Chain A
């Protein structure tokens, strides 16, 4: 697991940390010198009014906070909420269109190291547009991202209610499964090649909160490749197949059904969850957590 202590204590620590952080953020009105979530210093002439999000998770958070008025551009992958589709797209995450970005005259671009390229940040900075990087590898950082994006979009008031709602949902799920035995879980982010969540990924923490024990949680990095043999050797009791749209999760079921030695296969415990929710750190992560907990501990949700 990511940190010592029962899930509840960790959550409490997250909330305290997050509250301190909110208190430490500068108030709008003056030139702002901020530190983004990767430790880079970002200087803004004024609180941003025209923001482009190159990160689907950040787009979701901004909409959930009601800060979308200041959002002038998103990527082709920013498909939630549906209203995000109405925003002007600047292209994909890997190579957004710099001309479109320029014509939208943004005063801030929100990016991520997970999916954007540093060349893109460099090109955007040279156009005189500051770039603020977000990142979340666990629930605490997700709540941190909510707080930061709330301040950047002038929706600081909406942060606490949203964070409280998210924390409550997480707490409810983790309480429901707390006393149950923790089965060994294999989470299949991508089947071929097999890609799994590792130590530094949000999904690993969510599996723990959902009452499971991820068999890949000790791997380094966030989403490494993993050998099927190693997965078989660890005898997962539950296999969770991430769905990337149109039922792709369960379509790979037959690949796993052949591995009859696996406890999960013998007991038919293969489940599909919505990867579109779980592989982002937007507010819907709590729905993803719910799906995970129901897959790992169906008995707790009857």
Chain B
């Protein structure tokens, strides 16, 4: 099968998958709307301010959008970090960047609360600062002459993650007990309906992050051959790595600011797609975005419904899927380290 035919098949499968999870997320929920009622609303035939209309348009649709963008962004961030470190286990939560972003966002939440656009930008800015500090630290700690060997990178990520978790714990020890529940809830990773203006900000940030990585996908393919070969082939490796790092950190920070830290999406989705598509980043990046959207939206729809009318945190579901997957990868594919 040619690469193009394989790509076409995967794209069709992704399209069908996305349609299926969006439909499930639209039609299933604790409000118990009939499918007919949901269709009426979508067709614009529901009366204004009716319960059905509010549930579908103000609750389910924005939540679907947040889940899809967050999932896509995390998956692309995963591809970015993996290409950057030439290490297939690199992922925002595994290498500590999520924890850094989470620390930044918690600080922002406690030094001012609100839900306006200004507050949204503040959360993202603090999250980005935390993500960059964590990412740069891991980079410096893990760099060896041979690049980023799996054990060094994982350990550095774990240590930086532990450090920022401890910093978050300091805050939770000092914060008023009445706010503690809210912070812990946020730290578990939850998706909720976001105001339209904030949603637009989220979409734009995600688009910037994805483009920063997608536009350098060809050069990332060259980087995969090794830094020296990349330089010989005319790639400015240092600049490329900085841009990819910034893009992936931006994606991570934006997602953490809007949903809290959600782990393992950037590990699972790129891996599955690499098995289907190969490791050409030009195809992998867009496919990972759609795949991430499917995975996180599916997980969120589960989280929203399996214990209805209560809800699980979506981060719990992704971790339940991700941790065994990580173990599987470590035990089978990367047993003796990387080739």
Contacts and interface: CB of A to CB of B under 8 A. Distances in A.
Contacts of A89: 309
B39 interface: no
Nearest to B195: A126
Interface string B238-276: 000000000000000000000000000000000000000
Contact of A97 (B173, B176, B311): B311
B317 to A, nearest CB: 15
Instruction: Name the prevailing secondary structure of the B interface residues.
Output: loop
B178 interface: yes
Contact of B181 (A94, A102, A103, A123): A94
Given A95-B190, A117-B185, A119-B115, A102 B178 contact: no
A41 interface: no
Contacts, number: 82
A103 B55 contact: yes
Interface string A87-111: 0011111110111101101000000
Contact of B311 (A95, A122, A123, A128): A95
A118 B179 CA distance: 10
Interface stretch (A28-36, A222-230, A264-272): A222-230
A117 to B, nearest CB: 4
Interface residues of A, number: 34
A72 interface: no
A126 B58 contact: yes
A98 B185 contact: no
B310 to A, nearest CB: 5
Given A99-B59, A102-B59, A117-B182, A91 B54 contact: no
Contacts of B51: 102-103, 105
A118, A119, A193: residue with the most chain B Cβ atoms closer than 10 Å: A119
A89 B176 CA distance: 26
B309 A100 contact: yes
Interface stretch (B29-37, B218-226, B285-293, B325-333): B29-37
Contact of A122 (B58, B115, B185, B309): B115
B49 A128 contact: yes
B339 interface: no
Nearest to A97: B309
B182 A122 contact: no
B170 interface: no
B114 interface: yes
Contact of B55 (A91, A99, A122): A99
A98 B193 contact: yes
Contacts of A90: 309
B195 A98 contact: no
Nearest to A121: B115
A234 interface: no
A50 to B, nearest CB: 12
A95 B185 contact: yes
A91 B54 CA distance: 19
Given A91-B310, A97-B311, A223-B178, 10 more contacts: A97-B309, A99-B30, A99-B59, A103-B31, A103-B32, A103-B55, A119-B182, A119-B192, A122-B115, A225-B174
Q: In the A-B complex, list the 8 residue pairs whose CB atoms are closest, starting with the nearest.
A: A99-B31, A122-B115, A114-B178, A117-B182, A223-B177, A97-B309, A103-B31, A99-B30
